[in-house]
């Protein structure tokens, strides 16, 4: 039987690969532009499954509405899952995700941001378009020989470490679960803050990583250090970051994510006065680069996201074990009893 799948927060680039792969599966797609939340979940009547994204609100209310429509599968087309209330979902809706789609996409974007910020490419581009060929104010520094501090050395952090080594940088890292045989030098968090010229975040958003970059952390960093965040916005206390950039303590920031991004990123506000003063002020700084949660956006990543999401859904409808299922026991405590070819409940 054909299964009806609803996609939330859909953008044109999302549809490309899902539509291209659709014929392999017995699915009908319904694309919604709105984000999934307790109210928009009302549109899911008649659907068999739902596909959600990073800024959808999958709280108890959303889950109860979906459950009321008999929907038992929610497929995240992303790796992060901090927007899901797993306790509310347990025993009601299976949540699957795409654990890896292209660590290269994100790691390469992080380095692109650093190179842009350091060598002032964003400003040079605007000057030369105006036939202003002055290079005053564009002095950067060699990455070669500088210290990169990486917080989180999972799939993305390790690819990023290799890229940094390619530039001749010294790499140090902090991770409660160090990668074995990676050759990475692990240090305590304070030591990483003290030693690094650039700090790049590649850890998930958890209770432990929330505001891992706060006033205290910034206080012990090198003067002029750069902060790079391509993980989740709330790892950085943006008010503290803004103050530190104004003071000159922090030399620059590259932000692909922002803690209050959910109502702003992915939308066109070019005709509207932005209400978020912190974001507006950060964007106005010559030494801050903000991209709109686009680090993942490569053809390879989009293809992998579509393939894994559709396979995740197929496993569910075929009654099989769910390879990429995640529940509160896996997510929070790491003690899920699920075995290969099984489901979390």
Inter-helix orientation angle 277-284/238-247, to 10°: 40
Task: Determine the Cα–Cα distance for residues 14 and 183; give it in Å rounded to an integer.
Answer: 37
Contacting residue, 55, 83, 118, 230, with ligand NAI by CB under 6 A: 230
Active-site annotation holder among 174, 293, 311, 315: 293
232 is catalytic: yes
> Is 242 among the residues that bind ligand NAI (CB under 6 A)?
no
Q: Give percent helix, percent strand, percent coil of the chain, each to the nearest 5.
A: 40, 15, 45
261 is catalytic: yes
Q: Please, are residues 142 and 167 in contact by the beta-carbon 8 Å criterion?
A: no
> Is 177 among the residues that bind ligand NAI (CB under 6 A)?
yes
In whole angstroms, how close is the CB of 201 to ligand NAI at the nearest point?
8
Contacting residue, 9, 14, 175, 197, with ligand NAI by CB under 6 A: 175
Task: Determine the Cα–Cα distance for residues 43 and 5; give it in Å rounded to an integer.
Answer: 12
Active-site annotation holder among 174, 202, 261, 311: 261
> Is 149 among the residues that bind ligand NAI (CB under 6 A)?
no
Stretch that binds ligand NAI, among 32-40, 146-154, 270-278, 324-332 (CB under 6 A): 146-154
Task: Determine the Cα–Cα distance for residues 290 and 214; give it in Å rounded to an integer.
Answer: 19
Q: Please, are residues 212 and 203 in contact by the beta-carbon 8 Å criterion?
A: yes
Which residue number has the CB closest to ligand NAI? 154
Which residues are CB-neighbours of 239 under 8 A, at least 6 positions away? 278
Task: Determine the Cα–Cα distance for residues 62 and 8; give it in Å rounded to an integer.
Answer: 13
User: What DSSP state is assigned to residue 43?
Assistant: G
Contacting residue, 55, 231, 238, 324, with ligand NAI by CB under 6 A: 231
Kindly give the pairing relationship between strand 250-255 and strand 225-229: parallel
Site for ligand NAI in 32-51 (CB under 6 A): none
Stretch that binds ligand NAI, among 84-92, 205-213, 272-280, 327-335 (CB under 6 A): 205-213
In whole angstroms, how close is the CB of 54 to ligand NAI at the nearest point?
8
293 is catalytic: yes
CA 173 to chain centre: 19
> Is 156 among the residues that bind ligand NAI (CB under 6 A)?
yes
Binding site for ligand NAI (CB under 6 A): 79-80, 100, 103, 106, 151-157, 174-177, 202-204, 206, 208-209, 230-232, 256-257, 293, 295-296
Q: Which residues are catalytic?
A: 232, 261, 293
């Amino acid at each position: 039987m054909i299964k009806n799948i609803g996609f939330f927060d859909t953008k044109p680039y999302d549809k490309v690969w899902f539509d291209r792969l659709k014929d392999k599966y017995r699915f009908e797609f319904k694309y919604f532009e709105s984000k999934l939340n307790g109210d928009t979940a009302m549109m899911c009547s008649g659907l068999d499954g739902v596909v959600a994204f990073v800024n959808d609100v999958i709280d108890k209310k959303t889950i109860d509405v979906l459950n009321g429509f008999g929907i038992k599968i929610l497929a995240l087309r992303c790796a992060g899952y901090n927007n899901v209330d797993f306790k509310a979902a347990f025993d009601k809706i299976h949540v699957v995700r795409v654990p890896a789609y292209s660590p290269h996409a994100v790691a390469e974007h992080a380095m692109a941001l650093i190179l842009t910020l350091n060598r002032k490419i964003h400003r040079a581009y605007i000057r030369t378009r105006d036939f202003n060929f002055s290079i005053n104010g564009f002095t950067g520094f060699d990455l070669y020989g500088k210290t990169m501090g990486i917080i989180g050395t999972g799939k993305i952090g390790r690819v990023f470490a290799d890229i940094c080594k390619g530039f001749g940088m010294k790499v140090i890292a902090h991770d409660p679960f160090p990668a074995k045989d990676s050759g990475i030098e692990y240090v305590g968090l304070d030591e990483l803050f003290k030693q690094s010229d650039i700090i790049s975040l590649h850890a998930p958003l958890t209770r432990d990583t929330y505001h891992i970059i706060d006033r205290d952390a910034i206080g012990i960093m090198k003067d002029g250090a750069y902060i790079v965040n391509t993980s989740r916005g709330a790892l950085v206390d943006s008010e503290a970051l803004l103050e530190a950039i104004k003071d000159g303590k922090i030399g620059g920031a590259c932000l692909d994510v922002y803690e209050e991004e959910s109502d702003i990123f992915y939308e066109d506000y070019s005709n509207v006065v932005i209400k978020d003063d912190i974001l507006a002020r950060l964007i106005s700084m010559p030494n801050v680069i903000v991209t709109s949660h686009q680090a993942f956006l490569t053809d390879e990543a989009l293809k992998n996201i579509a393939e894994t999401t559709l396979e995740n859904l197929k496993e569910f409808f075929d009654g099989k074990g769910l390879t990429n299922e995640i529940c509160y026991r896996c997510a929070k405590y790491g003690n899920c009893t699920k075995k290969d070819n099984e489901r979390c409940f």
